[in-house]
Chains A and B, each alone.
Chain A
Amino acid sequence: MSLTLEQVQRIALLARIEISETEAQTTRGHLNGIFELIEQMQAVDTRGVEPMAHAQELSQRLRADVVGEPDRRAAYQAVAPETEAGLYLVPKVIE
Chain B
Amino acid sequence: MIDKSLKQLGQALAAKEISSVELTTLFLDRIARLNPEINAFVTVDRDKSLAVARAADARIANGTAGPLTGIPIAQKDIFCAEGWTTTCGSKMLANFVSPYDATVIAKLHREAGMVSLGKTNMDEFAMGSSNETSYFGPVKNPWDRARVPGGSSGGSAAAVAARLAPAATGTDTGGSIRQPAALCNLTGLKPTYGVVSRYGMIAFASSLDQGGPMAASAEDCALLLNAMSGFDERDSTSLQRPAEDYARDLEKPLAGLRIGLPKEFFGDGCDPAVMAAVQAALDEYRKLGATTVDVSLPNSHLSVPAYYVIAPAEASSNLSRFDGVRYGYRAPDYDSLDDMYMKTRAQGFGAEVKRRILIGAYVLSHGYYDAYYLQAQRIRRLIADDFVAAFKSCDVIMGPTSPSTAFKLGERAADPVQMYLSDIYTIAVNLAGLPGMSIPCGFADGLPVGLQLIGDYFAEARLLNAAHRFQQATDWHRRRPADIV
Contacts and interface: CB of A to CB of B under 8 A. Distances in A.
B382 interface: yes
A67 to B, nearest CB: 14
Contact of B341 (A16, A53, A61): A16
Interface size range on B against A: 35 or more
B342 A52 contact: no
A16 B365 contact: no
A2 B134 CA distance: 29
Given A56-B239, A75-B99, A37 B337 contact: no
A87 interface: no
Given A15-B345, A44-B379, A53-B377, A91 B302 contact: no
Contacts of B308: 34, 37-38
Contacts of B100: 72, 75
B193 A55 contact: yes
B279 interface: no
Nearest to B366: A14
Nearest to A61: B236
A38 B327 contact: no
B324 interface: yes
Interface in A31-64: 31, 33-42, 44, 46, 49-56, 58, 60-61, 63
A11 interface: yes
Nearest to B379: A41
A41 B305 contact: yes
A16 B382 contact: no
Contacts of A53: 207, 377
B327 A79 contact: yes
A31 B358 contact: yes
Contacts of B340: 91
Given A18-B342, A34-B417, A58-B237, A41 B309 contact: yes
Contacts of B240: 61
B345 A16 contact: yes
Contact of A40 (B239, B302, B323, B433): B302
B326 interface: yes
Interface of A is mostly: loop
B355 A27 contact: yes
Contacts of A56: 193-194, 237, 239, 433
Which of A36, A40, A51, A68: most chain B CB closer than 10 A? A51
A85 interface: no
Given A17-B349, A31-B359, A54-B237, A81 B330 contact: yes
A46 B382 contact: yes
A90 B384 CA distance: 45
Contacts of B355: 27, 30-31, 34
Interface residues of A, number: 53
Contacts of B346: 17-19
Nearest to A68: B233
A77 B405 CA distance: 46
B345 A55 contact: no
B68 to A, nearest CB: 27
Given A17-B346, A38-B305, A52 B378 contact: yes
A66 interface: no
Interface string B425-441: 00000011100000000
A80 B96 CA distance: 9
Contacts of A27: 354-355, 358
A50 B358 contact: no
Contacts of B194: 55-56, 58
Interface string B366-378: 0000011011111
B304 interface: yes
B357 A91 contact: no
A26 B464 CA distance: 45
A81 B327 contact: yes
Contacts of A93: 337
Contacts of A14: 361, 365
Interface string B228-240: 0000010011011
B416 A33 contact: yes
A80 B339 CA distance: 21
A3 B205 CA distance: 24
The 8 closest A-B pairs by CB, nearest first: A55-B433, A51-B377, A46-B378, A18-B346, A55-B193, A18-B342, A52-B381, A75-B99
27 contacts: A11-B365, A13-B342, A15-B360, A16-B341, A17-B358, A18-B343, A34-B417, A34-B420, A37-B304, A40-B301, A40-B305, A41-B306, A41-B309, A42-B371, A44-B375, A44-B379, A44-B382, A46-B379, A52-B380, A54-B433, A55-B194, A55-B208, A56-B193, A63-B233, A76-B99, A79-B96, A79-B327
Given A27-B358, A63-B233, A91-B337, 14 more contacts: A15-B345, A16-B338, A18-B342, A18-B343, A31-B362, A40-B301, A40-B302, A41-B306, A44-B382, A46-B382, A55-B207, A60-B236, A80-B327, A90-B325
